[in-house]
Structure 1
Amino acid sequence: MTGFPVKLYVYDLSKGLARQMSRQLVGKQIDGVWHTSVVYNNVEYYYGAGVQTAAPGSTHHGQPLEIVDMSESSLPEDIVREYIGSLAEIYTQEKYDLFMHNCNNFSQDLCQFLVGRDIPPHISNLPREVLETPFGQMMRPVIENSLRPITTAPSSAPFSQTPTQAPARAPQQQTPQAGQHAVIYTTSASELDNMIKTSKCSTVFFTSATCGPCRIAYPKYDQLAEEYGDKCKFIKVDINDAYDIATRWRISATPTFMTFISGEKLDEWKGASPPTLESNVQMLLQAAYPVHPHRRLRLPILLGTPNTPISYAKLPPLDKIVAKLAGAGINDPIISHIADFVRLRSTEGAREAPVPDLSAWAAFVQKSLASSESGSGENLFPIIDLFRIAAVDVRVGSWFAEEHDLNTIKVVIDFSSRDESPFQVRLVTLQLLCNLFSSPLFAPLLISKLGGSLAQLAAKSLLDDHVNVRLAASSLAFNIVAYGQKRRASDSEEVLLGQDIGIELIVALIEGIGREEESGPTLGRLLLSLGLIFYCAPLDKEIGVEAMDICASLDAYATVKGKKTCKVADKKLCDEVMQLLTRP
Structure 2
Amino acid sequence: MDVQLYVYDLTHGMAKNMSRQFLGIQIDAVYHTALVFNGIEYFFGSGVQTCYAGRTHHGRPMEVIPMGTTHLPMEDILEYLESLKQIYTPESYDLFAHNCNNFTNDFAMFLVGKGIPDHITSLPKRVLDTPFGQMLKPQIDAGMRSVTQASVPARNVPSAANGGGGSSISQPKSVANGKPATQAAPILLGNSKPVTYGKVPPLEKLVAKLGEMRDDAALLSLKTFIQQRNVDPREAPLPDLEAVGQAFQSKVLTLPVEVRFAAVDLLRCAMIDPRVSGFFAEEKAGSQTADTLIDHVNELADCPHNLRLVTIHLACNLFTSPLYTKQILHPEKAIATKLVQLVTSSLLDASHPTTRVAASWLAFNLAAANHRSCRGEGREALAEGQQVELAASLIEVLGSEDNGEAVKAQLLGLGYLVYGAPRDGEVLDLAKALDAKATVSAIGKGNEALAKEVAGFLS
Instruction: Please classify the TM superposition score into its range, dividing by the shorter chain length.
Output: 0.5 to 0.7
* Structure 2 residue corresponding to 1:488, chosen from 374, 382, 387: 374
CA shift in 2, pair 1:293/1:479, >3 Å: closer
Partner of residue 443, structure 1: 325
Instruction: Say which one has the larger Rg.
Output: 1
Deviation at 1:425, TM superposition (A): 0.5
- What secondary structure sits across from 2:442 in the alignment? helix
How far apart, CA to CA, are the structure 2 residues paired with 1:453 and 1:488? 21
Q: TM-score, normalised by structure 2?
A: 0.59
Contact 1:490 1:536 in 2 (8 A): no
Once the two structures are superposed, the pairs formed by residues 32-111 of structure 1 within 5 Å of their partners are 41=47
Partner of residue 296, structure 2: 415
Partner of residue 365, structure 1: 248
Kindly provide the CA deviation profile for residues 367-412 of structure 1, in whole angstroms up to 9, marking residues without a partner as x: 335425xx5x111011000010010111111112222456322221
* Structure 2 residue corresponding to 1:479, chosen from 337, 361, 365: 365
Q: TM-score, normalised by structure 1?
A: 0.47
What stretches of structure 2 of length at least 5 have no aligned partner? 1-45, 50-88, 109-157, 167-171
1:310 aligns with 2:191: no
Residue type at the aligned position of 2:342: L
Contact 2:208 2:214 in 1 (8 A): no
1:425 aligns with 2:307: yes
* Structure 2 residue corresponding to 1:342, chosen from 211, 222, 226: 226
Deviation at 1:578, TM superposition (A): 0.8
* Structure 2 residue corresponding to 1:552, chosen from 414, 426, 432: 432
Partner of residue 503, structure 1: 388
CA shift in 2, pair 1:332/1:500, >3 Å: farther
Partner of residue 186, structure 2: 299
CA shift in 2, pair 1:294/1:524, >3 Å: farther
Contact 2:364 2:410 in 1 (8 A): yes
How far apart, CA to CA, are the structure 2 residues paired with 1:496 and 1:473? 20
How far apart, CA to CA, are the structure 2 residues paired with 1:489 and 1:79? 35
Residue type at the aligned position of 1:570: N
Partner of residue 81, structure 2: none
How far apart, CA to CA, are the structure 2 residues paired with 1:435 and 1:293? 27
Partner of residue 119, structure 1: none
Contact 1:294 1:535 in 2 (8 A): no
1:383 aligns with 2:263: yes
- What secondary structure sits across from 1:310 in the alignment? coil
CA shift in 2, pair 1:438/1:510, >3 Å: same
CA shift in 2, pair 1:388/1:289, >3 Å: closer
- What secondary structure sits across from 2:320 in the alignment? coil
- What secondary structure sits across from 1:378 in the alignment? helix
Deviation at 1:458, TM superposition (A): 0.5
How far apart, CA to CA, are the structure 1 residues paired with 2:375 and 2:347? 29
Kindly provide the CA deviation profile for residues 19-73 of structure 1, in whole angstroms up to 9, marking residues without a partner as x: xxxxxxxxxxxxxxxxxxxxx9599xxxxxxxxxxxxxxxxxxxxxxxxxx9966
Contact 2:177 2:420 in 1 (8 A): no
Residue type at the aligned position of 2:420: C
- What secondary structure sits across from 2:359 in the alignment? helix
Residue type at the aligned position of 1:516: E
Partner of residue 355, structure 1: 238
What stretches of structure 1 of length at least 5 have no aligned partner? 1-39, 44-69, 83-156, 166-229, 232-284
Q: What percent of counterpart residues are identical?
A: 35
Contact 1:292 1:536 in 2 (8 A): no
Kindly provide the CA deviation profile for residues 421-461 of structure 1, in whole angstroms up to 9, marking residues without a partner as x: 11111110011111111011111212332111100110111
How far apart, CA to CA, are the structure 1 residues paired with 2:177 and 2:272? 40
Partner of residue 469, structure 1: 355
Count residues in correspondence. 307
Once the two structures are superposed, the pairs formed by residues 69-218 of structure 1 within 5 Å of their partners are 162-163=163-164
- What secondary structure sits across from 1:379 in the alignment? helix
Residue type at the aligned position of 1:339: K
1:575 aligns with 2:423: no
Deviation at 1:313, TM superposition (A): 0.7
1:323 aligns with 2:200: no
Contact 2:384 2:426 in 1 (8 A): no
Residue type at the aligned position of 2:328: L
Partner of residue 421, structure 2: 537
Once the two structures are superposed, the pairs formed by residues 215-226 of structure 1 within 5 Å of their partners are none
Deviation at 1:318, TM superposition (A): 1.2
Higher RCO, Cα 8 Å, sep 6+: 2
Deviation at 1:501, TM superposition (A): 2.1
